[in-house]
Amino acid sequence: ASHRFDSIPLAPPDAILGLTEAFAADTRSEKMNLSVGVYKDASGVTPIMKCVKAAEQKLIETEKTKGYLSIDGLPDYRSDVQKLVFGDRIDAGRIAMVQAPGGTGALRVAGEFLARQCSPTRVFLPNPTWANHNAIMQSAGVNVESYSYLADDRRSLNFEAMLNDLSTKTRPGDAVLLHACCHNPTGVDPTADQWKEIARVVSSQGLIPLLDFAYQGFGDGLEADAVGLHTMLDACAEAIVCSSYSKNFGLYSERVGAVGLVAGTPAAATASLSQLKVIVRSNYSNPPRHGGAIVATVLSDDELTQMWKAELEEMRLRITHLREQFVAGMAKQSGAPDFSFLLKQKGMFSYSGLTAMQADELRTKHGVYVVGSGRINVAGMDEKRMDWLCSVVADVLA
Ligand code: PLP
């Protein structure tokens, strides 16, 4: 019998993970990795937060079963997410909330919901966007379109083009994906006033806002980072929010996320929840317990909640300081361009303006790893070696 698998072609490697492998194999001691998508502390590791360790300790002692969760997940976790994402501005009866395996799992469930229940919807993604958005939405069976986002200077929002695309390219019932804060990969977010304008267009065009909320607390703080999302909810009766706790709880490998769907009426929320559960059931049956239980344990305990907020604030401030240090360091390099635009950008990521060739040279000549798009993970910088980093960046820019 002939082999069925012999002619299967090799899939292309993931561009960013490929760089991580190359970085690990690089023997130069001065190497620096600015390509990864995770937070790093001052010693270059992705730490387990203290509040998480404490919650796990508590869970080990109190957890009584590893039995399946229900299809929509842990009730305490779901109500915590509801508070974090929506505050108290939406009547709980209008929200359908489903725990999901990470933000990725949440986006996949939301995508399938759009494909099955809102057909013939299309989803509009910003250009550029997180590389996985396109693949997730296509796998979910939604047609993907894009709207203008980044300006030609690659460091600011082309707001006019964005609004123009959203009001001329879309049809009522289409979905528009918006990064609620800390746009990945560019770090370029709309201002509060711009969010109002966006919400007005999304509402008047009859679009479904699909908000990707993966970095709450990494921009201007937990509450401030929800402003755009809340503005959208004030203007639109319906919305879907895909949130992730990978970054703000440092729970990357525990796969903790959620889909929060806001419906116009409680009856519509009930029906939507039942359909979300049908999708979950045929995908992964029910979500993993541990990560959601950690978040719920932290948020049900005042002391652990305070600890979490303080640790999250520390991460946020570290990123802000690194941005400032890098900009100041580049200003000292003679002939180097002005990098002060990095101070306006939010979250871990920024488009540095480096070209693919410069990124390549930075890696081969100096051991500094940057994605070909020029995206840098600011949290990957080492403050003790900032002068060196600035000098090698200046070298490839010269
Ligand atoms: N959305 C955006 C914009 C992201 O950057 C990421 C992770 O990098 C995710 C969603 C998915 O996060 P998770 O690891 O929770 O699946």
Protein fold of 15-48+304-397? Aspartate Aminotransferase, domain 1 (3.90.1150)
Is the per-residue pLDDT at 302 higher than 80?
A: yes
Closest ligand 1 atom to Cα of 349: 5
Closest ligand 1 atom to Cα of 212: 1
Q: Which of the 8 DSSP states describes residue 31? A: -
State the pLDDT at residue 361.
96
Give distance in angstroms: CA of 331 to centre of ligand 1. Answer: 32
Dihedral sign from CA coordinates of 291, 294, 300, 304: negative
Give distance in angstroms: CA of 144 to centre of ligand 1. Answer: 18
Burial class of 336 by CB neighbour count within 10 A (0 to 12, 13 to 18, 19+): middle
Tell which one of 46, 184, 259, 295 to mutate to probe ligand 1, the residue whose CB is within 8 A of the most ligand atoms. Answer: 184
User: Which residues belong to CATH 3.40.640.10 in the chain?
Assistant: 68-300
The predicted model gives 16-35 an average pLDDT of 91
State the pLDDT at residue 12.
85
Is the per-residue pLDDT at 18 higher than 90?
A: no
Give distance in angstroms: CA of 188 to centre of ligand 1. Answer: 16
Q: Which residues contact 59 (CB under 8 A, 6 or more apart)?
A: 290, 293, 294, 297
Distance separating alpha carbons of residues 344 and 332, to the nearest angstrom: 20
266 pLDDT band (50/70/90 cuts)? Answer: very high
The mean pLDDT of the chain is 96
Give distance in angstroms: CA of 396 to centre of ligand 1. Answer: 30
68-300 under CATH 3.40.640.10, yes or no: yes
Q: Which residues contact 205 (CB under 8 A, 6 or more apart)?
A: 166, 167, 170, 172, 174
User: Which residues belong to CATH 3.90.1150.10 in the chain?
Assistant: 15-48+304-397
Interval 147-179: pLDDT, tens: 999 999 999 999 999 999 999 999 999 999 999
Ordered alpha helix ranges (H), 14-127: 15-25, 50-62, 75-86, 102-117
Is the per-residue pLDDT at 15 higher than 80?
A: no
**Active site residues per annotation:** 130, 212, 247
Is the per-residue pLDDT at 51 higher than 90?
A: yes
State the pLDDT at residue 141.
97
Q: Which of the 8 DSSP states describes residue 99? A: E
**Of 15-24, 35-44, 115-124, which range is least confident?**
15-24
**Of 17-31, 256-270, 288-302, 322-336, which range is least confident?**
17-31
Structure ipTM: 0.99
Distance separating alpha carbons of residues 85 and 359, to the nearest angstrom: 36
Is the per-residue pLDDT at 142 higher than 80?
A: yes
Is the per-residue pLDDT at 230 higher than 90?
A: yes
Interval 107-131: pLDDT, tens: 999 999 999 999 889 999 999 999 9
Residue with CA nearest ligand 1 atom 8: 37
Tell which one of 46, 123, 130, 133 to mutate to probe ligand 1, the residue whose CB is within 8 A of the most ligand atoms. Answer: 130
Residue with CA nearest ligand 1 atom 10: 103
Q: How far is CA 125 from the centre of its chain?
A: 14
Are 99 and 72 contacting, i.e. CB atoms less than 8 angstroms apart?
yes
Interval 305-321: pLDDT, tens: 999 999 999 999 999 99
Q: How far apart are the first and last CA of the chain?
A: 61
Closest ligand 1 atom to Cα of 129: 3
Closest ligand 1 atom to Cα of 256: 15
State the pLDDT at residue 17.
80
